[in-house]
Chains A and B, each alone.
Chain A
């Protein structure tokens, strides 16, 4: 079974803190994705990566950065957390050729 794990299920941070969200997949997938999920807005793509050290902006990259130093790990970084970044963050991965994405359980981040 494909497994995508995220470092925390729940996280509470203060405004201005630097926040790291980690995602690890065990299926040797080339592609990895970070989404945020908000009520009524569905899933919105923040960043994705199609190879180690490669990244592309998604639909809402402002206020976020990413890092992919190893194929299995994709990190989302909030350089200076703000209250409007309170959300559910979902990581996903896929093979280059199949498009079907496998999701982690999500991290619910609250910024106070």
Chain B
């Protein structure tokens, strides 16, 4: 069975500072990885995804993530955050042996302050 761990439940950061949101996964087979964002009172929106190829993946709103197979990680980064990035971020995994389902982490609340 696969699992996703987001160790940081909350990350406070000042505007224009860099941020990294951590995601580690566990799976015995090949994986596809996703980051979703949820703004207040909205559904989830896809930020980026890793399916294959380059391990550095660029997404929307200036976010990027790096797939590291040896460390089983898929950390999300942004070099300079804005107030509008305040939201909850979810890492998710699909394992090739896992049917059509995604397994989500518990989420990281990013709070950007002035």
* A residues adjacent to B (C-beta < 8 A): 4, 31, 33, 35, 40-43, 45, 48, 50, 56, 58, 90, 92, 94, 96, 99-106
Contact = CB atoms under 8 A, between A and B. Distances in A.
Ordered nearest first, which 5 A-B pairs have the shortest CB separation?
A103-B43, A42-B106, A43-B104, A103-B44, A99-B94
B15 to A, nearest CB: 25
Contacts of A42: 6, 90, 104-107
Contacts, number: 49
A101 B94 CA distance: 11
Given A4-B43, A104-B43, A106-B42, A45 B9 contact: no
Contacts of A104: 43
Contacts of A101: 44, 46, 102
- Secondary structure at the B interface, as helix, strand, loop or mixed, is loop
Contacts of A58: 101
B45 interface: yes
B43 A50 contact: no
B41 to A, nearest CB: 8
Is the contact region of chain A dominated by helix, strand, or loop, or is it mixed?
strand
A43 B90 contact: yes
Contacts of A40: 9, 106
A48 B101 CA distance: 8
Nearest to A90: B43
Contacts of B44: 43, 90, 92, 101, 103
B32 interface: yes
Interface in B22-69: 32, 34, 36, 41-46, 49
A99 B50 CA distance: 11
Contacts of A102: 46
